[in-house]
Chain A
Amino acid sequence: MTRTVLVTGVSGHIGARVALALAADPEIDRVIGVDTAPPPSPAGEDGAVLGRTEFVRVALRSPDLVKVIRDADVDTVVHLSLVSGPGGGGRAGGSGGGRPAMKEHNVIGTMQLLAACQRSATVRRVVVRSTTAVYGSSPHAPAVFTEDTEPVEGSHSGFARDATEVETYVRGFARRRPDVTTTTLRFATLMGPNVESPLTSYFSQPVLPTVLGFDPRLQFVHEDDAVEVLCRTARADHPGVFNVAGDGVLLLSQCARRTGRPVIPMPSPAFRFVSGLARGARLVDFSPEQLALMSHGRAVDTTRLAAELGWRPKYSTAAAFDDFLRSRGGPGDLPRALVDWLAAVVRPNS
């Protein structure tokens, strides 16, 4: 039996890496990558961005996609094209057409893709990338979310709402096609040397504004681990919904200290105002649910994934963040140097 994998959102960083890894697998005969924009030019670091992946430029909501799935006898669909911001957030999947286009891409695109899969006689496995943002960020929620936790506040906006709707469609699809294995992966914030996200650009600013009086718990998943989880679920049946995050949490204050950059705590309205300015200046593109995250934080339980895969992420949350920092020139040393200096000054016997 030949094996053909379709990867959507292949022009994004994670999509490209997943396609490349699957293409390198001798058990997989064909990898077809689709996206609305072509992948970054092969003049990148290693020449071949996608390996032997065949790229098809097609919008998820176009009828061409149905044809691709039917003609290529696709048996596994890896759906990664959820975009997190109207500007595309650095991901090539975004059409840059504002919030309506983003919703169209995320929600209607997924509907179309699943509709095509439902018709297909060959698709046996569907893997969908979602986000832990579906749990929201709230002072009234449990400290640690398991996959069964119902979000306390139903009304999210933007990305989280799209992901929630996407998951609803995936559940509907799984009900109608019980013979197809569906896997929903809720990823924590991606972190790593090549990740371009609102949070990574936030941590690259020279000073870090924070919300006065709040110190959220953050959780990261390293890009390598994200790719590994996606490949593992694309290769074998792992039905269900799984949280994906590095072990442990970091507090925002702890992250800021690790960067060695100064923080400016400001009252919540001022923080919103400043992030609006940063958005206008195209520095940091924080969405409303990320603003909530910066106050109340979020942590998820990952034991279900570990039990299912028999595998744990290689990077803890802290290790993923440190790896990201190393790639950005390492942490600043000023505070530590200050303490060393102070220690030398007050040292009584020298």
Chain B
Amino acid sequence: MIEVTNLHKRFGAVTAVEDVSFRAEDGVVTGLLGPNGAGKTTTLRMLYTLIRPDRGSAKIDGLEVAERPLEVRRSIGVLPDARGLYPRLTAREHVRYAGALHGLSGATLDKRIDELVELLEMKDIADRRTEGFSQGERMKVALARALVHGPRNVLLDEPTNGLDVMSTRAVRTLIRRLREQGHCVVFSSHVMQEVGALCDRIVVVARGRVVADGTPDELRARTGKDSLEEAFVTVIGSDQGLMQ
């Protein structure tokens, strides 16, 4: 479970996150929706401990991220904004490295890697070097790496960015499965259809603030619009950045 209260972060003269608060429950998919530059990535980076908030608090499973970064990192699986791979290592070696850094080893690790290879349907690429992988294949490796330690909380930054239809479907299936297993899933997107198709709860972020928070139905009801798209345009005050 993730609780964010009044997060604030500025870089020099630029305020990236003004005031963000939301809650993401276990067994629920929470979508952070907002135009580019709204502060989604910075918010996630504060959650996954790589940026220290200036103000406010972020707790994951009750642990304050800024105070217990190592423990927090153990309880989260992250697909960060940067998801680069090592071109000279195979897909399996990527997952193995991440597992080893989480303290896994031996048969436990091997078994876990096989599970992920199965889950993400990457049997035919598992033992190939990642140089020359397609976007979809790279995404699978990055996801397997993020989930190797079986984290309770999963943070995904724009997980379907740049993917074709098949790969997007695979990612959606994975997110639904994680929800069924009771994980807390937070993902960010600037694509409204994406969020509408997957999320139980939507947090709309614009200019560093939360401008709306609720289920898709609540959002439609609140804005008095029939379509989600209209609802978003209404809450963020412009349609900038929402269109693909």
Tell me, yes or no, whether A binds B. Answer: no
Residues in A lying within 8 Å of B, measured CB to CB:
none
